[in-house]
A = this chain, B = another copy of it.
Amino acid sequence: MIVIVKPQASAEQMEHLLERIRQFGLQPMVSTGSERTVVGLLGDERLLPEGALESLPAVEQVMPILKPYKLVSREFKSTDTVIEVRGIPIGGKQIQVIAGPCSVETPEQMRSSAEAVKAAGCRLMRGGAFKPRTSPYTFQGVGDEGLDYFRTAADAVGLPIVTELMDVRKIDLFLEKGVDIIQIGTRNMQNFDLLKEVGRLDVPVILKRGLSATIKEWLMAAEYIAAHGNHRIIFAERGIRTFETAYRNVLDVTAIPVLKRETHLPVIVDPSHAGGKAWLVPQLSKAAIAAGADGLLVESHPCPEEAWCDADQALSPQQLMTLMGDLRKIAEAIGREL
């Protein structure tokens, strides 16, 4: 950590700063330049409470040197982590497209969804039994029995299932139903009590990026899970909130190579929620794979216009099939497979 001292700081204020630094078990190293005095801190800067030095009268600015995440960082583990889910690798050479409906509706809808997902060549399936909805008056998901419909339909075609957990009180149910990957949604990326609980489980977690979460905050959210013992974490970029109103969110493709450099964990992309429109999904999917994503989360539905939620962003079975063919070509162009 580097502390920049105010030009007008008094000798007494300076002494107080050095004393405080020593109180936290760190060693100050003063370097007096022509325009500014700078104090370097030797020792582990993570010992300092946030804001502890900033509040002192001598201090102009405090600049951290170390990154605040550790277990999830590439420095901690330099090789790519491949997470296996019932034999399906995520984070390796093979790219995984996780498809399925936004929302679990009926056993029949899940059955035909699962068949379409399987037929398109996808190896994992997604679907939500509990839905975070902006309005209290819209469909909130079918709830507990939805997991049964999903489990049954996916088992029939042999697909592992991915579904969103919003409430710590549902964890037992998720374990009982054998959910293969637990998804933590955008709005819960910093629901720290939930992160701690999934950190104690032995189930892989897809951690979606918060709507306006920085890369650093996202890595710290994953660090919460890892610090509680669960190291099987998959990052899912799903678009960020900006000033633009012509589409729902802005898919942040730059996050893909940046995350791949900062962390050893897999990175996937959700083009459906990012763009918010089915017609955008193919181009965004291709961009994500070309930029190095390890997989996708794609919404598909047996009959999109009759979907109970997000009807305008689901792909039809035929569109999903076409997309898989197109993505295969991109995968090959960059030396991967799908």
Chain A interface residues toward B at CB < 8 A: 2, 4, 7, 20, 29, 31, 33-36, 38, 40, 42-44, 46, 49-52, 54-56, 63, 65-66, 68, 75, 132-140, 166-169, 187-188, 190-193, 196, 211-212, 214-217, 220, 223-224, 227-228, 240-247, 250-254, 256-258, 274-275, 277-280, 283-284, 286-292, 304-305, 307-314, 326, 329-330, 332-334
Contact = CB atoms under 8 A, between A and B. Distances in A.
A216 B23 CA distance: 34
B280 A290 contact: no
Nearest to A211: B212
B50 A244 contact: no
Given A38-B2, A168-B168, A308-B49, A243 B246 contact: no
Count of chain copies: 4
A2 B278 CA distance: 21
A5 to B, nearest CB: 10
Given A136-B223, A250-B240, A334-B329, A65 B49 contact: no
B191 A191 contact: yes
A234 to B, nearest CB: 19
A304 B55 contact: yes
A139 B254 contact: no
Given A287-B290, A291-B286, A305 B52 contact: yes
A49 B309 contact: yes
Given A51-B312, A65-B38, A242 B246 contact: no
A191 B168 CA distance: 12
Contact of A68 (B135, B212, B252, B291): B135
Contact of A305 (B55, B251, B291): B55
A252 B305 CA distance: 28
B192 A2 contact: no
B305 A254 contact: no
B290 A330 contact: yes
Contact of A214 (B138, B140, B245): B245
Contacts of A280: 254, 257-258
A95 B258 CA distance: 26
Contact of A311 (B38, B44, B51, B193): B51
B220 A66 contact: no
